[in-house]
Chain A
């Protein structure tokens, strides 16, 4: 995420610009942040995960979205493009259009050095305020490692980590099981 400071924009102005734009930008607190492309490992991880989720959720009402699905965090005003998001059951969108999702059940971010602190810290903090969100998955792109945060009945978030290729990760939000060997297939880890 590269910073591109501009004058203060309202959320409506952002959405109007964004819906016509040729490249994606996130929005927070009056500012738009242009999104950069990603390395091969990042792309393969997103694709492998999406393929696994898609395969396992086809016969159910769940929907899995790639990073062109904008997600809006109502309580903080953030508009962002998670690497992968998924919804179970009814989908809620901003403005009656279908380009800005309000109620993801699962959000996935593939980590990169420039965004890791944000994804683990303030972005996660904002995602936590989405009531529908049950799981937040962070996938490392420089080694085999995943961190899954699951919302508990008392509102706390439980961390489950995995780092061996023979391990499997259960995503209860979408009733899917992901083998780390499938997730990291063909991914060249460059450290």
Chain B
């Protein structure tokens, strides 16, 4: 299994957030159309559906490319990703006028530690499992 290791790393990284996106999108649709919460879902889905899974895949490729030099555990490597995603998502929310994200920056102080912990656990167990399954690491 030495063929295309970066492609397999990308697939292993994308495989974890994609089913979660399905759950998240279902939650948003229920919020919007069942409980009539005024969430601009058409604009809000762009970041979680398009950017986040690709970021996971590319971050896993980066892990494979850098692990010879950095020697970071996979969980710690994954926990760094929110440092890019949260500000990126916040900026995009401001640009697209998604009020429930872009207008209130105070929640980020709570979101960062939670995101670090969630990402650490997800990468340590779920992405690591997918990597092992696909023969990446």
Bound pair: A and B?
Answer: no
Residues in A lying within 8 Å of B, measured CB to CB: none
Residues in B lying within 8 Å of A, measured CB to CB: none
